[in-house]
Amino acid sequence: MTDSQQQSGTGTDKETRFGNRAAIVVSVIAIIGSLYTFWNWLRDNFWWLVARWWIAALAALIVAVCVWLVKRTTRGGNLWQSARKALHRLINLDALVIFLIAVNTFYLGIFIANRSHRPKSKTISGIIYYLPCNGNPGLDPAPNVRVFLPEQNFESNPTGSDGKFSISGIPTTYQIKQLTAELGGLHYPITYNEGQGSYPLIPRSCDYNPPVWDVHAPWQIGSDDNECLSEETPKIKRRYLLEALIPAEGKRQAILTVELRDTVDVTIQSAFVLSPSEQSGGYSEVMEGLNEQTARRWIFDLPANGLTFQLEVCLGSQDSSASLSERHLRTSYQLR
């Protein structure tokens, strides 16, 4: 062998050793990466999917490598001798490195593909209500309630006047069965219901009366006072129309009241709801405890985005000098 051939052989050996070492480094990095992703999948309750992909990947690659090695070592000899040679080649560092890199590359590709096609987290929401009182079946939202997942670091901001809560960042694989509501240091367990989302559970005193809100929209004088319908025939009469919006604010019903104030000679001759229509069944008139000559009251069902209503009220008097001004009408509502 000449000096040039020896130098050439030595150079080839150095290149082979360098390639082997580089392959080992790459393989170790791939192994660490696969173990890290394997741990993440276990943490996300994907152990069954991980096991399935690992078994499939290893089986396929072992078969592929063995077939490749058998084909390379077969030189007209019998299959057993070829298999023995293939086993020796598999133990060889080059083949082992190729095998490890292939396995980990395949596994990491599957991991990235699955991670890119599924959401990482989900958000749940709902409404916390006070428990209803006897004689008042309506539900009132409960403010300042914090909702959280027991034994997990996920919680909502305190609820507002609408009682709504929202918890974000929950892993998609986490199965939610129980929530806990906290108000004033007291905890109230919640059985989570994804389809419903309404939770009446906060106790309170049933002496509670919801606040009264004034309707600030102005009454408009009607075009024809003769359209007023009443059993009496007053000397003077005037027709008024009102259109206004009642915000829902998480409530389900509104109690609307029209009252006469600061007058003794004027009465309410008639009062009607023009919208919504009577056929819609979205309201009912309630006069319990009221004098129909001085007040009228209705209960409306509230859509989620509030209700725009229209009223007609006719005022009348037997005193031709009485004032029929809209200033005597006070319109207010309560939500429940």
The residue whose two tokens read 């959401």 is: 119
pLDDT in the model for residue 232: 74
- Binned at pLDDT 50, 70 and 90, residue 140 comes out as confident
Q: Which residue has the higher pLDDT, 52 or 204?
A: 204
- Binned at pLDDT 50, 70 and 90, residue 215 comes out as very high
As a residue count, the chain comes to 336
Chain segment 54-70, per-residue pLDDT in tens: 666 766 776 666 666 55
> Can you tell me the mean pLDDT for 15-20?
56
> Can you tell me the mean pLDDT for 163-167?
91
- Binned at pLDDT 50, 70 and 90, residue 132 comes out as confident
pLDDT in the model for residue 120: 72
- The residue among 114, 97, 98, 120 whose CA lies nearest residue 53 is 114
> Can you tell me the mean pLDDT for 157-181?
88
Q: Which residue has the higher pLDDT, 20 or 117?
A: 20
Chain segment 249-303, per-residue pLDDT in tens: 888 889 999 999 988 889 999 999 999 998 888 898 888 888 999 999 999 999 9
Say what the pTM is.
Answer: 0.44
> Can you tell me the mean pLDDT for 78-104?
58
List domains and CATH numbers for the chain.
3-116 (no CATH), 121-202 (2.60.40.1120), 213-335 (2.60.40)
Q: One-letter amino acid identity for 72?
A: R
The residue whose two tokens read 């007609």 is: 312
Residue 243 has pLDDT above 90, yes or no: yes
pLDDT in the model for residue 121: 81
pLDDT in the model for residue 275: 93
Bridge-based pairing state of the strands 213-214 and 198-202: unpaired
Residue 194 vs residues 96, 118, 125, 167, 190: alpha-carbon distances, Å = 51, 20, 8, 13, 12
Q: Which of 107-116, 164-173, 198-207, 243-252 is predicted with the least confidence, judged by mean pLDDT?
A: 107-116
Q: Tell me the C-alpha distance between 267 and 317, whole Å.
A: 6
Q: Tell me the C-alpha distance between 238 and 227, whole Å.
A: 9
pLDDT in the model for residue 45: 47
Q: Tell me the C-alpha distance between 145 and 128, whole Å.
A: 8
Residue 91 has pLDDT above 60, yes or no: no
